[in-house]
Amino acid sequence: MSDAILQKAAPAPLVALTEDEILFRDNIRQFAEEAVRPHVKEMDDKGVFEHSLLDQFFQLGIMGIETPEQYGGAGGSFFEAILAVEELSRVDASAGVVVDVQNTLVNNAFLRWGTEAQKKKYLTMLATDTVGAYALSEAGSGSDAFALTTKAELKGSDYVLHGRKLWITNGKEAGIFVLFATVDPAAGYRGITAFIVERNFPGFSVGKKEDKLGIRASSTCELILEDCRVPKENVLGEVGKGYKIAIETLNEGRIGIGAQMIGLARGAWEYAAKYAQERKQFGKPIADFQGVQFQLAQSATELEAARMMVYNSARMKDAGMNFVKEAAMTKLFASQVAERVTSLAVEVYGGYGFTKDYPVEKFYRDAKIGKIYEGTSNMQLQTIAKLVVGAK
């Protein structure tokens, strides 16, 4: 059989982009450069996300990428959502995570477990003008997510919620929260239930906004529930099945964090490669020194490998395949690569890289969260170990 026939018969690589996806990616890249980049430094300094950008996100359709058109969304794919997160994060990881949480966590939860009435109401809001947040973590339940203590008690036609949530991304801007509480603490994880909480519900308030090391423009807030009344029709999925929603949604979210990490790593690498051509020592650009060349080559190779893992996991999700192991590996490796690449970028800049007058120190700060949120690196290793070697 000739090489030409073999090439024609072979399936396209799982991670290859279609022409439509390339066009979509390039449009997001242009938008990030023109609309987001001018605000990056000020947003980071102030720790506040530029509200006009949120309006543009909705206008561009990237707050409801997978949402069907009947609910006001773009009717796109999970893979396209991942491309959007990557391209935004290349310019600003805070912008990337706003879009990531909206699409991979909040919208996905409604798409998979919402009733038709819930989809019609909330997916339409989330696609057109309302930011969403995903509220699972508490002060005493991080990696041990099912140790949550926020309680929900059915009283008449409402559930009454008491408790506090911590580390909630998009907390300041969100109008809709997918929030987890237990209807029966004695039942352990079998009591956990997902609720749809609107910001204006009685007894609900947003507390302290954290002053963070990185992704500073992305709001991370405490949520306070004091006799918060939630209509019982706002249970998402089934009562007592919130643990399933939490686990399965976070599996998808981990691919989104992988996209955020490769995006910001690429942004840092591009700055470092350019600076290496400009910075001269001993009479020539530092890019002419083999030591620098090899470090940039090594980081470019790792970044490409991480990108292939992210893309492959996203393709598997879209294809309806089991991607739990791949998602865990993707988040683990992409966050490791992001930390290494951004650290190298600071070193390439030398003393300048350690100052806020140059862009790479922000990428370095932004990268650190990748090993922590939506499942720490140790939790990813635990998941991988269970799936590949049967560890307990």
Active site residues: 374
Largest CA distance in the chain: 79
State the Cα–Cα distance between residues 213 and 129, nearest whole angstrom.
29
Q: What count of other Cβ atoms lies within 10 Å of the Cβ of residue 308?
A: 15
SS3 readout for the chain: CCHHHHHHHCCCCCCCCCHHHHHHHHHHHHHHHHHHHHHHHHHHHHCCCCHHHHHHHHHHCCCCCCCCHHHCCCCCCHHHHHHHHHHHHHHCHHHHHHHHHHHHHHHHHHHHHCCHHHHHHHHHHHHHCCCEEEECCECCECCCHHHCCCEEEEECCEEEEEEEEEEEECCCCCCEEEEEEECCHHHHHHHEEEEEEECCCCCEEEEEECCCCCCCCCCEEEEEEEEEEEEHHHEECCCCCHHHHHHHHHHHHHHHHHHHHHHHHHHHHHHHHHHHHHCEECCEEHHHCHHHHHHHHHHHHHHHHHHHHHHHHHHHHHCCCCCHHHHHHHHHHHHHHHHHHHHHHHHHHHHHHHCCCCCHHHHHHHHHHHHCCCCCHHHHHHHHHHHHHCCC
**Tokens in use for 215?**
């992704």
State the Cα–Cα distance between residues 307 and 182, nearest whole angstrom.
38
